Chains A and B, each alone.
Chain A
């Protein structure tokens, strides 16, 4: 059972480049989210989705784009990378309902130079 799979694990981008972080889950979870983790700031929500075709902004959405065409996949696109987007990115999935825990991918460490 793979759970939540994120790719790539590491990435270095130049300022202005674009890229897509991939996230896939095999648990048939309705909800999926993207977070970024920065020192001393915990995990901050970028975008989330409550089902295929439905996405919404989180706390820090600027510079990122998402789509959810299938239940399984929730890619995160950086449109024009900036050094401020250097961070560790985590994808999570969870069932709808109360008290349902989230399952996390292993993270993508992104450096923008």
Chain B
């Protein structure tokens, strides 16, 4: 069975400061891992995915995530937040046939 836990339901940052959104996963086998973003009243867009080619994955809009097998984590980071980053972020673990979503982290960015 696979599961994913997003450790924070809300994260608040100021514009220009670093962003850290935390995700831990559980998987019986080598997982596929993704981060998706959902802006208000919009669909879901892929930010990045872990493909096992490299543990540090770069995505769109300056986001990146590091796969740490020993910690079963896949945290999402960005060096400097922008107002347009305010959205809900989902960590997703994929495996045989299904995708399992975390409960989401809402990122709030203040000026």
User: Interface size of A by Cβ–Cβ distance < 8 Å?
Assistant: 25
Q: How far is the CB of A106 from chain B (nearest CB, A)?
A: 5
Q: Does A31 contact B (CB under 8 A)?
A: yes
Whether B99 pairs with A106 at a CB distance below 8 angstroms is no
Q: Does B51 contact A (CB under 8 A)?
A: yes
Q: CA A102 – CA B45 in complex, angstroms?
A: 9
A23-61 residues with Cβ-Cβ distance < 8 A to B are 31, 33, 35, 40-45, 48, 50, 56, 58
Q: CA A102 – CA B94 in complex, angstroms?
A: 10
Query: Which listed residue (B9, B51, B101) contacts A44, Cβ 8 A?
Result: B101
User: Interface size of B by Cβ–Cβ distance < 8 Å?
Assistant: 23
B6-51 residues with Cβ-Cβ distance < 8 A to A are 6, 9, 30, 32, 34, 42-44, 46, 49-51
- Residue on A with the closest CB to B100? A45
Query: Which listed residue (B9, B43, B46, B101) contacts A107, Cβ 8 A?
Result: B43
8 pairs of residues in contact across A and B, judged by CB atoms under 8 Å: A42-B104, A43-B90, A45-B100, A90-B43, A98-B32, A101-B34, A102-B46, A102-B94
Whether A92 pairs with B103 at a CB distance below 8 angstroms is no
**Contact status of A99 and B32, CB under 8 A, knowing A90-B44, A104-B44:** yes
Q: CA A50 – CA B90 in complex, angstroms?
A: 23
Q: CA A44 – CA B102 in complex, angstroms?
A: 9
A98-112 residues with Cβ-Cβ distance < 8 A to B are 98-102, 104-107
Whether B99 pairs with A50 at a CB distance below 8 angstroms is no
Q: How far is the CB of A102 from chain B (nearest CB, A)?
A: 6
Q: CA A104 – CA B36 in complex, angstroms?
A: 11
Q: CA A105 – CA B44 in complex, angstroms?
A: 8
A41 / chain B contacts, CB cutoff of 8 Å:
103
A43 / chain B contacts, CB cutoff of 8 Å:
44, 90, 101
Give 1 or 0 for each of A70-113: 1 = CB within 8 Å of chain B CB.
Answer: 00000000000000000000101010001111101111000000
